[in-house]
Structures are given as structure tokens and as C-alpha cells.
Chains A and B, each alone.
Chain A
Amino acid sequence: MHLRPATLLTAILAGLILLAPVTANAATTPTPSPTASTGTPEKNPVVKGPNITVTLKDVKGGKGEPVPVPGVKLTVHKDSKTGEELGTQTTDQAGRVSIGIPGNGTYVVELDPKTLPEGVKLSGNGETTKTVQVKIAAATFVQFQIGAVVVKEASFGSKLIDASTSGLKYGLIIALAALGLSLIFGTTGLTNFAHGELITFGGIMTYMFNRGLGLPVIAAGALAVLASALFGFAQDRGMWRPLRNRGTGLIAMMIVSIGFALLLRSVFQYTFGGSTKTLSQYVAQGRSDYGPIALSDKEVAIFAISIVTLVVTCIALMRTRLGKAMRAVSDNPALSASSGMRVDGVISSVWILGTALTGLSGVLLAINQQVNFQMGFKVLLLVFAAVTLGGLGTIWGALLGSLVIGLMVEVAPVITLWGWHPVPASIKDVGALVVMILILLVRPQGLLGRAQRIG
């Protein structure tokens, strides 16, 4: 069944850096050879000893099996793009090159875009180089993506459906983090700039449990959510509660959170490294059609997990005693305290719940894309935008705002006005941020917020 005449193709430059010769082939076995083009080597030998092995595959926008891309010239430099050239190779029938390196250090892999097969050109930032940190400690698996778009245009309708689907998915992932932020803001008044790092924490923990301890991704994700909740609890007990008790002001606490964000982000970079890494499973999955929508299995799972979590959380907040207590505290902490509520206990629970939700959003982000030390920092602004847009501190507002933001991010680049793209694809966040600002102009209290009392 072909609903769309032409599809969006994406080429993935998958690089596996294998330091020990032992594991050289396990992960790089590609799919059957496609038609040969001239000047393409049949098979590049895998270098013994430390090497950088790159496999170039075209995943065809995630539809069907990935196909190796042969005949592309890749060069490895030491330290920087202008550094010493360690070797140049053309990808073989398996889409693979293997270039030897002297040992650990920083390397730059450069792709010659002129040698890309016809019909495929690099898009995005047009990034043709990738920097890789190689450490001797363990075999580092790195996969990096160079987006490439086929020159053939897909129809507007199909692009819109595609964009809306991924927008909704992105919105749901953001919603988990936004709900966490909103709960914490609602009960404590804290504008938490370290919230992005709580997302990253979820992602990195998943990676640690998965690659470090060798657990399957699902188990690793579950443990990561648990770890996030624990982290939230410890954070409240060890830092925020003492600060509240000292009577530290909200602005001062916000600045503390900025410091905490810098601290955490640098610690993540210190321990995790500066490169982007992938989990061991569900990396590049083919998509299957569900009516007009095409989704990979992991995307279906992301939809299911986030929707179920959000619904269950909201019902719990509405129905359970603790949920009501949380909302009461966020309405009026002083009154709740005077009517015998254990405000500190409620706030602890909010931190646990909030960071668990946020950690989960990091886990899903890691599965959807990759893991990086600033993955959360990069979405923090969108999470803030979602919460503000919906109305500060309201639960439904956070959800609605997230969906609007997620959709805007993905849909805006698709829109053309008289042949002109108002929001270029390379800066798609811009559309969502502009929409947020515009909505705030019309409804300063956010979509679902209430105006404040004066005097």
C-alpha cells in the first residue's frame, strides 16, 4: 500500500569505533549488497588494532530495512579538521570504511559530500564532520547522524501528517518533563533551571544501566526512572528543604538552581564525555504503516508509555488524598500548614513524582534519539515555554502547552507561504518559541492560568 508517492529519506552515518580488534565485525554486519557503482571497493579490510570503523547506511526515513551507501569518501583526522590526516577510504559494498588510529584521543571524521550518491544531499546544518573522543578504557560505541534529504519533495499532506505525528510524540515527551516542572513550581514556587539536567539524568542513567551493566533497554529505563525519583528525593532533602527552612527567597533559589544546573551539566560532561552515544537496542528501526501514519515499534511504545503515564498521573492527582494535598499546598501553602497538613512531606512527594516523570522523559528521549550530556539542557527552554504557555503551575496547562509546543516545533518547518519557509528546518525551535510569545501577548496568564490578585 503506497499512500505517499515520495518519502523523506534520511541517511545515517553510523560510526562504530572499535578499539580492540576482537569486536570488529559483530556490530557492523550490514544488509545485503545493493547494486555496485563504479570505483567502489568490494570489501574494505577491517584494520587490526585501534581503528575507527564507520558504516554508512541509508535508513530511508525509517521505512524498511536500512541500505548501505557505498562509494562515499571518508577521511579521519587527528584532533581537528585541519589536523594530521590518518587515512582516506571509500565506503565498500557494505557501506563500510575502516581506518587505523594511533591510540586514544580526539578524532574528526570527515565526509566528502561530493561523493554522496545522486538524489541524496546533506541537509540540516550541512555538517560533514563529526568529532569523536576515543578512550582506551572500553570499547566506545558511537553512532552519529548526518541528516540527508532527498531532493524529491513529498506531498504537503503527507509531510504534514508526518510532522504532526512526530510533533505529538515530541510534545508527549516534553509533557512528562513539563508536568514535573509544573508540579514542583506549583508547590514550592521554584523556577528550576536545573530541570533540564534532570532530563539528562534520566537519559544518562539509562545509558549507564544499559551499556555499563548490560541490562536490556527496558529494564535500564525502569531503573533510570527509579534513580531519578531517588535523586529528586535526595535533592529536596539535602538542598531545597534546608533552603526553604532558611527562608531563602524565590529569586535566590532560582539562581541556586542555575548554579546547580551548571554544576550537574559539567559533571555529566566530565563523567560521560562530550560525545553523543546510543543505547544498545532499538536504534534504527524500520517503520510500519498504521493508516496514513508510519511509526516504528519504539515510537508506538513511546506514545503508549507517555500517554498512560500522563493519564495515570493526572487521575492520581485528581482522585487520591496525596494528589489533593499536593494541589492544596500549591494553592495556599500557609493555609495548608495551618490546617494540619504535613507540607514538607507533601513537597517531598512532589519532588519524587516530579523528578520521576522528568527522568522518564529523559529515558524516552534517549530511546527516541541518542544520549548526550546536554540533551536536557537543549529541551529545557521548550519545557519552560510549554509550562508558561499553558499557565504557570497548572497541570492541564502544562499538558496542553507541551502538545502545542511539540506540534509547533515539528509542523512549523513544513509550512510554506507562497513558496517561502517562515521557519527553516534547521532552526525549527524558533516557530514554537515565537508562538509562545504571541500567545502570552494575548493571554498573559497562559492558556489555562488564572489572573493574580492585587492589593
Chain B
Amino acid sequence: MPVELSAARKALEGVPAEPGAPKPDPIVKGSNILRTFGGLKAVDVEHIEIQRGVITALIGPNGAGKTTLFNLLTGFDEPDEGDWSFNDHTLGKVPAYKVARLGMVRTFQLTKVLSKLKVIENMRLGATGQRGEKFWSAPFKSLWSSQEDEITARADALLERFKLDAKREDFAGSLSGGQRKLLEMARALMVDPELIMLDEPMAGVNPALKQSLLGHVKSLRDEGRTVLFVEHDMDMVRDISDWVIVMAQGQIVAEGTPQSVMADQRVIDAYLGAHHDTDITEVDLAELEIEAEAELDQEGTS
């Protein structure tokens, strides 16, 4: 085991493996976060803390509220109640772009690449503090061209790291599903975030690339960034995460190191349970269908 890994784990030593456990150096801290859709409590988190400088995995069955929690934390959605902070900045009704500027950047489960822009333009967009993005200086190229060159150099380096350099001049719309995931992650890194939140970064990425992606994610931590990611692939979770938070039905039901969580009976019941070996996508569909039917019936009677 590399030294860094143990350093990161060391920080979490002594943290009790229980829902909402306090961490020694939290980067995100939130309590009583509630978000409902109609009668459904999509997120109902009593307390959550994310340790700085480690990789935290957020797992849970489909519809557990993971994406909704991401949306709330990053300002893309507004909670019914609750407050949280990032680096001691109180967030709550802070708009998404300000959250991102503070250094908390997320990617999306359904990738959002800018199809009609070239890959390199996608990357350049990510850079913050661009002079040329101000209306009054935009028409005068001399005011921003040198900064643009620096940005381009940084973008090229990242593209190379994510094996997208060959696609540099292609339109992002022509990328494959996995490549889009990569581009989105690379683009988020252009913001130079302190905390990067990845919503299912590995979905649709081929096994070989997955391995190198895992490496990238670990190196992000080693650069001093904090990573929070959602993932259904348990092998991956076991492989790279330092800490695991389990959600079910909007609540945090368990927390702990990967090993302890996967041995936890409640987690097996709530998540791994009977479906431990079945294909995730099948469960996905079945659940969706039941939901859709339930919704229809409900409407029919109302």
C-alpha cells in the first residue's frame, strides 16, 4: 500500500462507523437537510460531514437520493429546510455558480457536454477568472489572448492525462458515452476545485480505462483535493475510497471504512441485500416501471 493512502486513512482513524459521524477536519458539514417531492422525502439527512483530503464514496440503491443530495449541496436545487457549509462558508440559498467558484465542483450523472463546441473549447470554458469573459473586454483580443494561451496549455495537459488529446479538435457531440464522462471530469478539473463531486464517473467507461481513471481519482487526492463520488460498482468503491457513506430512502443509514460498511448487516439489508449478485440495470428498470405505474394509478384516482 502506498504511503499516501495510509496517510489519508489515518486522518479517519478513530472516527466511529455510524451515520452522521463527526470528522476531525470536515470540508463539508451539514445538518437537517430535507428535500421533498410531493410526499416523497427524497433527501432527509440528519447530519453529514465530509473529511478533507480523502476520497469518500456515496452509495445506495436507485432513488436513494444521492443525486438529489448532490444537487442540494452544489446549489442546483433548493431544500425545504436545512443548512450546510463548505470550508466554513455557509451555503443554503447560494446559487450554483457561486458554490462552484468557492471550489466545490460537481459532474452530472447524465453527462452534460457542450455538443456543438469542440473538445478543447469545452475545456477552456472550465477555467475561472477569464478576462475575456467580461463583456467590455471581450471585443479586444489583446486583453485576453495571453491568458487564453495559458488556459489552453493547461487544458492540453489535462486532455493528455485523460487520453482525449486525439479528440481535441472534434465536436464534443461526436464523443462516445465514456469519453463524455472523461471530458466532463477533465473540464471540472479546469476549475481547479478543492472538492470535486463525481456522480457515477465510471458508468459506461471500459474496464481498461476504468483502471487508469481510478489512478486519476487517487492522484486527485494526492494533489490535495477532496473527492466525493457516487458509484454503484462495489469493487471500485472498495478499491479507492477511504470512507463510505450509505444512503437509503433519503437517509444516511451507515458510514465507515469500505471494509466495515460492506460487512454491515444494515447495508446488506438496505442495499446489497438480495440483489447482491444481480445485474444493477435490471433492478433499475424494474424499479422504474413500478414507480411509473404507481404514479399513473395515483393520478388516475385523483
Q: Do A and B touch, yes or no (CB under 8 Å, in the complex)?
A: yes
Q: How close is A213's CB to chain B, nearest CB, in angstroms? A: 43
- Whether A324 contacts B109 in the complex (CB less than 8 A), given A335-B288, A335-B292, A455-B199, comes out as no
- Assess whether A454 is in contact with B76, with CB atoms less than 8 Å apart: yes
Tell me if B71 is interfacial: C-beta within 8 Å of chain A.
yes
Q: Are A332 and B296 interface neighbours, CB within 8 A?
A: no
In the assembled complex, B229 has its CB within 8 A of some CB on chain A: no
Q: A455 contacts B110, CB within 8 Å?
A: yes
CA gap between A328 and B295 in the complex, in Å: 10
The residue in chain A whose Cβ has the minimal distance to the Cβ of B109 is A455
B296 touches A324 (CB 8 A): yes
A324-B67 in contact (CB<8A) = no
Cβ A331 vs Cβ B292 within 8 A? yes
With A318-B300, A324-B300, A327-B299 already in contact, the answer to whether A455 and B70 are too (CB < 8 A) is yes
The reply on A35 being an interface residue by CB < 8 A is no
Interface bits A320-340 vs B (CB < 8 Å: 1, else 0): 000010011001100100010
The contact string, 1 if C-beta is below 8 Å from chain A, for chain B 290-302, is: 0010011001100
A332: contacting residue among B108, B292, B300, CB under 8 A = B292
Question: Shortest beta-carbon distance, A245 to chain B, in Å?
Answer: 20
Residue of B nearest to A319 (CB): B300
Partner among B70, B109, B199, B296 whose Cβ is within 8 Å of the Cβ of A331:
B296
**Contact A455 B296, beta carbon cutoff 8 Å:** no
| Interface secondary structure of B, over-half rule | helix
A455 to B77, CA, bound (A): 10
CA distance in complex: A454, B109 (Å): 10
Q: In the complex, are the beta carbons of A454 and B296 less than 8 A apart?
A: no
Task: Please give me the residue from chain A that is nearest to B76 by CB atom.
Answer: A454
Within 8 A of A (CB), among B19-43: none
Among B136-153, those with CB < 8 Å from A are none
The contact string, 1 if C-beta is below 8 Å from chain B, for chain A 325-369, is 001100110010001000000000000000000000000000000
Which of A324, A327, A339, A454 is packed against the most chain B CB atoms within 10 Å? A454
Query: For the complex, is B4 an interface residue (Cβ under 8 Å from A)?
Result: no
Most buried by A among B67, B76, B199, B300: B300
State whether the Cβ of B289 lies closer than 8 Å to any Cβ in chain A: yes
Chain A nearest Cβ from B66, distance in angstroms: 11
Residues of A within 8 A of B300 (CB): 318-319, 324
From 45 to 79 in chain B, residues with beta carbon under 8 angstroms from any chain A beta carbon are 67, 70-71, 76-77
**Residues 264-302 (chain B) with a chain A CB within 8 angstroms:** 288-289, 292, 295-296, 299-300
From B70, B199, B289, B295, contact of A339 by CB (8 A): B289
A 389-424 binary contact with B (CB < 8 Å = 1; else 0): 000000000000000000000000000000000000
Please determine whether B292 and A455 come into contact, CB atoms closer than 8 angstroms.
no
Q: State in angstroms the CA–CA spacing of A319 and B71 once bound together.
A: 37
Q: Within 8 Å CB of A455, what residues of B?
A: 67, 70-71, 76, 108-110, 199
User: Which B residues are in CB contact (< 8 Å) with A318?
Assistant: 300
Q: State whether B71 touches A454 (Cβ < 8 A).
A: yes
B97 to chain A, nearest CB (A): 14
Q: Please, could you name 27 A-B residue pairs with CB atoms under 8 Å apart, sorted by A?
A: A318-B300, A319-B300, A324-B296, A324-B300, A327-B296, A327-B299, A328-B292, A328-B296, A331-B292, A331-B295, A331-B296, A332-B292, A335-B288, A335-B289, A335-B292, A339-B289, A454-B71, A454-B76, A454-B77, A455-B67, A455-B70, A455-B71, A455-B76, A455-B108, A455-B109, A455-B110, A455-B199
Please report A residues at the B interface, Cβ cutoff 8 Å. 318-319, 324, 327-328, 331-332, 335, 339, 454-455
Interface residues of B (CB under 8 A from A): 67, 70-71, 76-77, 108-110, 199, 288-289, 292, 295-296, 299-300
Known: A331-B296, A332-B292, A455-B76. 9 other contacts (CB 8 A): A324-B300, A331-B292, A331-B295, A339-B289, A454-B71, A454-B77, A455-B70, A455-B71, A455-B110
| 5 pairs of A and B residues whose beta carbons are closest in the complex | A455-B108, A454-B76, A455-B71, A455-B67, A454-B71
